[in-house]
Amino acid sequence: MRTERDLAPDPRDQGRRRFMIAGEHVILRAFEREDVERCYRWMNDPNIVRTLKTRYPIAFENEAEWLEGAMHPSHFERHFAIERKDDRSHIGNASIHDIDWVSRTAWFGLFIGEPSAWNRGFGGDAIRTLVRFAFDDMNLEKLRINVFDYNDRAKHVLAAQGFVEEGKLKKDFYREGTWHDIVILSVFREGRS
Ligand SMILES: CC(C)(COP(=O)(O)OP(=O)(O)OC[C@H]1O[C@@H](n2cnc3c(N)ncnc32)[C@H](O)[C@@H]1OP(=O)(O)O)[C@@H](O)C(=O)NCCC(=O)NCCS
């Protein structure tokens, strides 16, 4: 079976778009079943999990079920694997979910799972690419994300992409013996160039 992942660069493609959703350094592609080992590893990595609302270790079978769902999304969600453009390696995942097609709002989540890929511009580029796709191709008006107040890196990267704080849920999440605030960050299509 041929997938976007297998497409070899074709010299005749020069000057044409090679990928459906491409940023400067990453592409967003559909998930494939072969992605499951990486997803399973990332969803059990404490460095990733501490930035997400996940609490419990995830069994391989459950991750495989999640992936199967991501490959067959409802009308209200879309899921993407984040790949580096240079070596086509899968470095993270992104989701747009709880889409309200009347109000044209949605939540999203995103992580770069490979620690070796952190702080190299991939996360910022993936967010920029996802936001652009949500506005220009899905015709959404507003995207929002929940971020733990202690997640300074994510807040920094999101602010650089134009996200602004809309509100704070005080002491909304209990972890490691204490309560944490959750910040809601949003970006609107209106006013973006
Ligand atoms: C948040 C995340 C997506 C960023 O990805 P990334 O590839 O590391 O991001 P980039 O390389 O594009 O940018 C990193 C920026 O954060 C800054 N940064 C790194 N650590 C930081 C910290 N502790 N506090 C503040 N800023 C920090 C870097 O200096 C850099 O800023 P600059 O571009 O102004 O120099 C990634 O760290 C991640 O997946 N984290 C876990 C999941 C998560 O937090 N998701 C929340 C939603 S984004």
Q: Which two tokens stand for residue 192?
A: 């973006």
Q: Which two tokens stand for residue 99?
A: 């889409």
Q: How many domains does the chain have?
A: 1
Residue 44 lies inside a defined structural domain of this protein: yes
Residue 170 lies inside a defined structural domain of this protein: no
Q: Which residues, judged by CB distance below 6 Å to any ligand atom, belong to the binding site of ligand 1?
A: 48, 51, 110-112, 118-124, 145, 147, 151-154, 156-158, 160
What CATH number should be reported for the domain holding residue 53? 3.40.630.30
Residue 136 lies inside a defined structural domain of this protein: yes
Q: CA nearest 158: which of 185, 178, 120?
A: 185
The pLDDT value given to residue 18? 83
pTM of the model: 0.93
The pLDDT value given to residue 35? 98
CA of 147 to the centre of ligand 1 (A): 12
| Dist. CA 139–CA 135, nearest whole Å | 5
Residue 99 lies inside a defined structural domain of this protein: yes
Residue 153 lies inside a defined structural domain of this protein: no
The pLDDT value given to residue 123? 98
CA of 153 to the centre of ligand 1 (A): 4
Q: Which residue owns the Cα nearest ligand 1 atom 16? A: 153
Q: Which two tokens stand for residue 102?
A: 């009347």
Residue 182 lies inside a defined structural domain of this protein: no
Residue 169 lies inside a defined structural domain of this protein: no
Residue 6 lies inside a defined structural domain of this protein: no
Q: Which domain holds residue 109?
A: 18-144
Q: Which residue owns the Cα nearest ligand 1 atom 35? A: 119
Atom of ligand 1 nearest to the CA of 147: 46
Per-residue pLDDT of the chain (193 residues; tens, 9 = 90+): 666 666 665 555 555 578 999 999 999 999 999 999 999 999 999 999 999 999 999 999 999 999 999 999 999 999 999 999 999 999 999 999 999 999 999 999 999 999 999 999 999 999 999 999 999 999 999 999 999 999 999 999 999 999 999 999 999 999 999 999 999 999 999 977 5
